[in-house]
Amino acid sequence: MLLTATLFAPLVGALLVAFVPADRAQPARWVALAASLATLGLGVVLAARFETGEAGFQLGMAADWVPAFGVSYRVGVDGVSLPLVLLTTVLTPLAIAGSWRMTDRPRSYLGLLLVLETAMLGVFVSLDLFLFYVFWEAVLVPAYFLIGSFGGQRRVYAAVKFFVYTLLGGLLMLVGIIALFWLHQKATGVPTFDYDTLRDFDKAPATQRWLFAAFFAAFAIKTPLWPLHTWLPDAYTEAPTTTTVLLAGVMSKLGVYGFLRFALPLFPDAAHWFQPALLTLAVVGILYCALVATVQRDFKTLVAYSSVSHLGFIVLGIFAFNVQGLQGGVFYMVAHGLVIGGLFFVIGMLEERRGTRRIDEFGGLQQAVPRMAAVMLVITLGSVALPGLIGFVGEFLTLLGAFLENRAAAVLAALGVILGAVYLLWAYQRMWHGPLEREENRALPDLTGREWAILGPLVAAIIVLGLFPRPVLDRVEPSAQRVVEQTQASSP
Amino acid sequence: MLLGQRLRRLAGWLATLAVAAAFVVALAAFLELLSHDAEGRSQILRGYEWFSSGDLRVAFDLRWDPLSALMALVVTGISGLIHLYSIGYMEHDERRQTFFAWLNLFVASMLVLVLAQNFLVMFLGWEGVGLCSYLLVGFWFNRRLLLVNPLGRLVEGEPDDTHEVWAPPAAKKAFLANRIGDIGFLLAMFLIFATVGSLDFDDVFGQATGLASGTATAIALLLFVACTGKSAQIPLYVWLPDAMAGPTPVSALIHAATMVTAGVFLVARTHAFFEVSGTAQTVVVVVGAATALLAALIAIGQDDIKKILAYSTVSQLGYMFIGVGLGPIGYAAGMFHLVTHAFFKAQLFLGAGSVMHGNDDDTDVKHFGGLRTAMPVTFWTTMLAWAAIIGVPLTAGFYSKDQVLAAAFEHGGIGRLAWVVGVLTAGLTAFYMSRYVFLTFFGERRWPEGRHPHESPPVMTAPLVVLGLGAVVAGFVLTTFTGEGGRFQQFLEPVLGAPEEHESLAAAFGLSAVATGVAAAGAVAAYLLYARQVDWLALRRRYASPWRALADRLYVDQAYELFTVTLGGALAAFLARTVDQRGIDGAVNGVAELVGSGARSGRRLQSGLVRSYALGVLGGAVLIVAFLVFRP
């Protein structure tokens, strides 16, 4: 019940926002913030009730939905999904606070953000494949409108590309889900979309490959894996920045979560069969997108490419099929969510002040806004995985996991660690260091109280979880271990 | 505001006191360590668990043994003096509390590095000092720095002999070169964990002897890659001379006395891998010797006093690597040179800083001359350190360099080659260091008009005196009085193992006579060229092309820049503009267009873009299901 409340609280908030008279922006903001904070509160209670050390699903709930087709409403969290639920509930109120100054239809905008939150939470907690699919596609709708009607100059192009691309993957997955359902029914006579049942049901390796490929389409596009990534720089760049925070911070985790939760345990033999291909795509993506990021002129696009590059590390960890890789992958998801959220927030704040995101429009900002520069430095260093900050633990564990499984992949991916430092530090140097030459930059105001309220928690988390990652890691480990066991190939 | 001002002034003293306290504690712990016998001299302090995953457990455990004690004493001792000096040097800087905060953070990271009991905690310190180096090199992020151009005055009528640089690119270069090295560290850890199943020093070194030699070689070489980054050896040394853009106390502390020696320490700490490997030892010796020679050559061609010292540091680090690369016979010698070098190079940098302080931050050796009367304390203490680095008998540098060379000679094989290179480098060292002191302190005054060189305040000269005296006596003290009647070597034996018996006294005497003779020749050559009435600028013009090669750092930096910035940049631009936008994204848009037009013309439906794609996709999906269902 608690989980269900957490899941739908933002949706209720969105309804309440809709009841606010259209000309009253301020109450709408407060209602939206209150709803997202209430969700965060529920998420915290959820985490407090969570039994550390348990591998299976907890705090769940199950009810029939469409019994005739075996569709049920079944939700639950384990060590893998709980951190992602919390990440979502943390980033959403920050994104709402970040949108405070927005004057273009704030009511619709905030309402859509809340709908997006429910949809994404639903993906993380669904334990029925049909329910999962519903939430998966439900994410598209608010995201499409957030990009397409609130975004930048090329918003329609970016939104349509994002929508079509992702929908295409989703539909292929739907085919996979229906085929899986059908195969199970043929074999046992029982119609069900239940996650555990479908996972434990024996599937011939050849069948698994087809089904894996169908799920792969959805997850690889959503992640995105190279070379299916080109919708992302457009979508991230064109979306309003607080939407980009949620897209990059949370939505980018849906694909990798899907691999971890569904593609691996449901089709272990196929996962092994596809492993070399997946590792290859991950490594190519890491290096390729890091190189492409170095020459971007728009800082938002640069961070967008860095996101694709970093997601490659998570895929690498997941497809290592060992506990270090999977546990590190989940931790990396959390770390990446917080860090990239911070990066996009800072970009948004700069854009609010200057109306541009081009790197060469800045320079010497440390003199004008020293506090902002310091915050940005911590976030940047978190992103380049400096030991002692949040990024390191995930990067170390995913690479270690990959190394234990496939040394060549890990060694090549490690080169991406160097490139990551290249593009981020170079950008930092060009924007924050050096002479303050442009007159427009001279009088920029430093961080306001509201901005501190947004960036403060992120910076604190980046430092604290870097030095004390165990509160997260210890909850992930048993569930990651369980996924490792479920992913054992049944036949050689 | 008033409080802020006072706090700002206090920050330096607070920071200095903190480090001094750390030194006192380290000293007490060191004396306590001496009270144990050899077996009891390895103490481990258990800390909280950082993270764990599967079989991997990483805890903040610290280790106190002779090797870490030695490093801790050097780090805190030298840092304390340099902190004190910085109070004077940074007096007029607005952001000095930030400066001291970072300097303290550096000392803390360095202590984590040397006290770590497992590889990951060491890596935390290892990257932590790299971060502090990045922050401190780029400390003057908005200040235009004048960089001395040694090519200046090469052509008659070339107007200016300096060009402007910014610190941030140097800071970034330092961080990135270190990052490349750190990947070696990271991969070494992976390989160690994959082979041994732990990253704890005791577990790892306990099993090191049983490793296959190929594995040991791989681990050792990966670790050495990290050393070439942090300790500025071939091929990653190029960042260190650039790092001189940082404030001079930073150059003294981080880029001469402590951080850059971390690689030498790492080889000593992980010597087990190098011993099992053998091949790796040879690589260390060869790289060390080659770096020593190359950097000494380049140092001759520099006119910026900090650059001369920077290349000198690179060169001296090469000696240390020769030492620790030789195996048990050279470990103590390499570490010994690390300690003595910390004294004399810290002094040389602080002395150079004092010269800059008294000369409007000028670093061009062409603008000095005859400073010995204007800055007597700086002059005399620098002469002490000069004596040490060129190896005047009985100074610290003489003892340690002599031990490294003796060990190399006795090691035989590759060691003999290293000995020859080392002796040659000793001559070059004497030449460029004498050139530096002659051009700075002796001869005619070449100061620009209106400059009034003056001695630095006592808070700066006091550390100069302490370090200068240390540069003279440290060698003597350490060889004679350390431990219970023994020597430096015996103190380190519980960690580094005992070498076989030493060569006869007569042979040793002969060897050091050769090295000393070569060094004396170098010094004399410098005297003839730079301390007498020779027009060395005319000579420079006459032999312009060899001079240009030296001054241009033998073109190594240009070659790197061609590869990374030009070629790497071109590759990245090609990927971004051609492959990504036209290739991949073009294909995506092309397919979309095809499907879209196909759907429109085929069905003549007035559907929106989105719906037509969906239909097309669904059609394909139905085919796949059909295949699955009707498959035999």
CA A302 to chain centre: 17
DSSP string, A64-101: EEEGGGTEEEEEEE-TTHHHHHHHHHHHHHHHHHHTTT
Instruction: Kindly tell me if the per-residue pLDDT of B484 is higher than 50.
Output: no
Distance, in Å, from the CA atom of B451 to the CA atom of B63, rounded to the nearest integer, reads: 52
Instruction: Kindly tell me if the per-residue pLDDT of B620 is higher than 60.
Output: no
Closest to B142 (Cβ–Cβ): which among A322, A410, A434?
A434
Q: What phi, psi does A295 have (nearest 5°)?
A: -105, 10
Question: For testing the chain A interface, which of B49, B50, B53 should be mutated: the one with the most A CBs within 10 Å?
Answer: B53
DSSP string, B514-537: HHHHHHHHHHHHHIIIIISS--HH
Residue of B nearest to A470 (CA): B51
Residues of chain B with Cβ-Cβ distance to A397 below 8 Å are: 51, 53
Q: What tokens were used for A171?
A: 């539909």
DSSP string, A220-248: HHHTTPTTS-THHHHHHHHS-HHHHHHII
A59: three-class secondary structure by DSSP: strand
Distance, in Å, from the CA atom of B246 to the CA atom of B141, rounded to the nearest integer, reads: 9
Cα separation of the two ends of chain A: 42
Closest to B51 (Cβ–Cβ): which among A207, A393, A425?
A393
Task: Specify the pLDDT at position B158.
Answer: 46
Sign, CA dihedral B375-B380-B381-B383, equals positive
B92: three-class secondary structure by DSSP: coil
- Strand B56-59 and strand A71-77: pairing? unpaired
Instruction: Kindly tell me if the per-residue pLDDT of B619 is higher than 90.
Output: no
Instruction: Kindly tell me if the per-residue pLDDT of B624 is higher than 70.
Output: no
Percent of chain B with pLDDT over 90: 39
Beta-carbon neighbour count of residue B513 at 10 Å? 11
B158: three-class secondary structure by DSSP: coil
Task: Specify the pLDDT at position B256.
Answer: 87
Residue of B nearest to A292 (CA): B576
What amino acid occupies position B528?
L
pLDDT tens string, chain A, 492 residues long: the values are 899 999 999 999 999 988 888 778 888 899 999 999 999 999 999 999 999 888 889 988 888 888 888 889 999 999 999 999 999 999 999 999 999 988 888 889 999 999 999 999 999 999 999 999 999 999 999 999 999 889 888 888 899 889 988 998 999 999 999 999 999 999 998 889 999 999 988 888 899 999 999 999 999 999 999 888 989 999 999 999 999 999 999 999 999 999 999 999 999 999 999 999 999 999 999 999 999 999 999 999 999 999 999 999 999 999 999 999 999 999 999 999 999 999 999 999 999 898 889 998 898 888 889 999 999 999 999 999 999 999 999 999 999 999 999 999 999 999 999 999 889 998 998 898 888 888 888 888 999 999 999 999 999 999 999 999 999 999 999 999 999 999 887 654
What amino acid occupies position A201?
F
Q: What phi, psi does B50 have (nearest 5°)?
A: -75, -65
Closest to A175 (Cβ–Cβ): which among B169, B191, B624?
B624
Residues of chain B with Cβ-Cβ distance to A470 below 8 Å are: 49-52
Give the single-character DSSP code of A298. B
B598-623 mean pLDDT: 52
Instruction: Calculate ∠ Cα A471-A474-A479, nearest 5°.
Output: 130
* Cβ within 8 Å, pair B53-A182: no
Contact B375, B485 (CB under 8 A): no
Beta-carbon neighbour count of residue B527 at 10 Å? 15
B300: three-class secondary structure by DSSP: helix
Closest to B190 (Cβ–Cβ): which among A410, A422, A474?
A410
Distance, in Å, from the CA atom of A129 to the CA atom of A181, rounded to the nearest integer, reads: 9
* Cβ within 8 Å, pair A171-B621: yes
Q: B266 vs A441, which has greater pLDDT?
A: B266
Beta-carbon neighbour count of residue A348 at 10 Å? 24
Q: Which of residues 376-395 of A touch B (CB under 8 A)?
A: 381, 386-388, 393
B90: three-class secondary structure by DSSP: coil
Min Cα–Cα distance to chain A from B628, Å:
8
Query: Burial, A144: exposed, middle or buried (Cβ in 10 Å; 0-12, 13-18, 19+)?
Result: buried
What dihedral do alpha carbons B412, B417, B420, B421 form, nearest 10°?
-140
CA A61 to chain centre: 24
Q: What tokens were used for B362?
A: 């000028």
Q: Which of A260, A269, A267 is nearest to A330 (CA)?
A: A260
Mean pLDDT of chain B: 84
Task: Specify the pLDDT at position A307.
Answer: 94
The predicted model scores a pTM of 0.91
Q: Residue B146: enclosing H or E segment and its boundaries?
A: strand B144-148
User: If pLDDT is split at 50, 70 and 90, which confidence band does B506 have?
Assistant: low
Percent of chain B with pLDDT over 70: 86
Length of chain A counted residue by residue = 492
Give the single-character DSSP code of B157. T
Residues of chain B with Cβ-Cβ distance to A366 below 8 Å are: 141-142
ipTM, two decimals, is 0.91
* Cβ within 8 Å, pair B179-A421: yes
Distance, in Å, from the CA atom of A291 to the CA atom of A285, rounded to the nearest integer, reads: 10
Instruction: Kindly tell me if the per-residue pLDDT of B599 is higher than 60.
Output: no
Beta-carbon neighbour count of residue B563 at 10 Å? 10
CA A161 to chain centre: 19
Distance, in Å, from the CA atom of B426 to the CA atom of A281, rounded to the nearest integer, reads: 52
Assess whether the previous peptide bond of B235 is cis (omega < 30° from 0).
yes
Min Cα–Cα distance to chain B from A113, Å:
22
Residue of B nearest to A160 (CA): B610
Task: Specify the pLDDT at position B167.
Answer: 81
CA distances from A484 to A271, A324, A333 (A): 12, 10, 18
Min Cα–Cα distance to chain A from B71, Å:
22
Min Cα–Cα distance to chain A from B291, Å:
24
Q: B390 vs B158, which has greater pLDDT?
A: B390
Give the single-character DSSP code of B362. -
Closest to B128 (Cβ–Cβ): which among A323, A367, A388?
A388
CA A252 to chain centre: 3
CA distances from A478 to A200, A324, A390, A396 (A): 19, 11, 21, 19
Task: Specify the pLDDT at position B152.
Answer: 52
Instruction: Kindly tell me if the per-residue pLDDT of B629 is higher than 90.
Output: no
Q: Residue B53: enclosing H or E segment and its boundaries?
A: strand B49-53
Distance, in Å, from the CA atom of B226 to the CA atom of B113, rounded to the nearest integer, reads: 13
- Residues paired with residue A62 on neighbouring β-strands, in sequence order: A74
Question: For testing the chain B interface, which of A386, A405, A484 should be mutated: the one with the most B CBs within 10 Å?
Answer: A386
Residues of chain A with Cβ-Cβ distance to B571 below 8 Å are: 291
Closest to B572 (Cβ–Cβ): which among A207, A294, A432?
A294
pLDDT tens digits for B517-533?
A: 998 999 898 888 888 76
Residues of chain A with Cβ-Cβ distance to B183 below 8 Å are: 414-415, 417-418
Residues of chain A with Cβ-Cβ distance to B54 below 8 Å are: 322-324, 327, 477, 481
B586-614 mean pLDDT: 60
Task: Provide the angle, in degrees to the nearest 10, between the axes of the packed helices B305-325 and B328-358.
Answer: 170
* Cβ within 8 Å, pair B571-A231: no
Q: What tokens were used for B229?
A: 């980054």
Instruction: Calculate ∠ Cα A308-A310-A311, nearest 5°.
Output: 65
Task: Specify the pLDDT at position A492.
Answer: 47
* Cβ within 8 Å, pair B190-A399: yes
Q: What is the 3-state secondary structure (H, E, C) of B304-320?
A: EHHHHHHHHHHHHHHHH
B364: three-class secondary structure by DSSP: strand
User: If pLDDT is split at 50, 70 and 90, which confidence band does B632 have?
Assistant: very low
Distance, in Å, from the CA atom of B33 to the CA atom of B509, rounded to the nearest integer, reads: 34
Query: Burial, A264: exposed, middle or buried (Cβ in 10 Å; 0-12, 13-18, 19+)?
Result: buried
pLDDT tens digits for A299-343?
A: 999 999 999 999 999 999 999 999 999 999 999 999 999 999 999
Task: Specify the pLDDT at position B150.
Answer: 58
Q: Is A396 near chain B, with CB under 8 Å?
A: yes
Length of chain B counted residue by residue = 632
Distance, in Å, from the CA atom of B244 to the CA atom of B54, rounded to the nearest integer, reads: 44
User: If pLDDT is split at 50, 70 and 90, which confidence band does B492 have?
Assistant: confident
Residue of A nearest to B125 (CA): A387
Q: What phi, psi does A363 have (nearest 5°)?
A: 130, 130
Residues 6+ apart with CB under 8 A from B508: B402, B406, B502
DSSP string, B428-460: HHHHHHHHHHHHHHSSS--PPTT----PPPHHH
CA distances from B463 to B440, B453, B553 (A): 20, 20, 32
Min Cα–Cα distance to chain A from B279, Å:
22
Beta-carbon neighbour count of residue B622 at 10 Å? 11
Residue with tokens 């939470």: A121
Closest to A433 (Cβ–Cβ): which among B168, B618, B621?
B168
Q: What tokens were used for A430?
A: 């060009």
pLDDT tens digits for B198-244?
A: 999 999 998 988 888 899 999 999 999 999 999 999 899 988 988 88
Q: Which of A302-306, A318-322, B140-144, B412-416 has the lowest mean pLDDT?
A: B140-144
Task: Specify the pLDDT at position B194.
Answer: 93
User: If pLDDT is split at 50, 70 and 90, which confidence band does B42 have?
Assistant: confident
What amino acid occupies position B361?
D
Q: Which of B53-67, B534-548, B600-614 has the lowest mean pLDDT?
A: B600-614
Task: Specify the pLDDT at position B585.
Answer: 79
User: If pLDDT is split at 50, 70 and 90, which confidence band does B605 have?
Assistant: very low
